[in-house]
């Protein structure tokens, strides 16, 4: 499963059994760097989003595979960013949208809400509405 090519991770193409299996196996730690770079976040910001300490983040980057719970959180963020990229048209637009407070999300940023499953579901629903041209 190890890979250093973030393009090989097509989070939106995975069906639920595939996603569950990959998360359970643990993502390669390179995924941390890939997602952090896509979002252009500092180490502190990224650690906060995936709910680990900066020290743990540094330690994880020296290991080969993430624990299941951390893989799950990284998957949740990466999948939303991939969906935002599809809906909004570019990685840059997705990155900015994920970081900006959004009125439809109670003036929270999508990244703040994506820390939890219910919050991520709200972000995904909003992206779906945007994608289908439904007023928000």
Q: Is the dihedral of CA 32, 111, 40, 87 positive or negative?
A: positive
Residue 64 lies in a domain: yes
Domain count, the chain: 1
Q: Is the pLDDT of residue 4 over 80?
A: no
Residue 5 lies in a domain: no
Across the range 58-63, mean pLDDT stands at: 92
Percent of the chain whose predicted confidence (pLDDT) is above 90: 84
pTM > 0.85: yes
Residue 38 lies in a domain: yes
Residue 104 lies in a domain: yes
* Cβ atoms of residues 104 and 134 within 8 Å: no
Its domain, for residue 30, covers: 16-131
Interhelix angle for 68-88 vs 91-99, to 10°?
110
């Amino acid at each position: 499963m190890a890979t250093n090519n973030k393009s090989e991770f097509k989070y939106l193409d995975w069906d639920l059994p595939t996603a569950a299996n990959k998360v359970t196996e643990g993502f390669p730690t390179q995924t941390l760097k890939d997602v952090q770079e896509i979002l252009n976040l500092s180490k502190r910001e990224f650690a906060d989003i995936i709910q680990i300490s900066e020290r743990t983040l540094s330690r994880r980057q020296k290991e080969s595979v993430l624990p299941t719970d951390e893989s799950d959180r990284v998957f949740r963020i990466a999948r939303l960013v991939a969906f935002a990229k599809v809906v909004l048209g570019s990685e840059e637009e997705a990155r900015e949208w994920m970081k900006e407070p959004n009125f439809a999300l109670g003036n929270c940023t999508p990244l703040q809400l994506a820390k939890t499953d219910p919050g991520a579901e709200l972000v995904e629903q909003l992206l779906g509405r945007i994608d289908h041209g439904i007023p928000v």
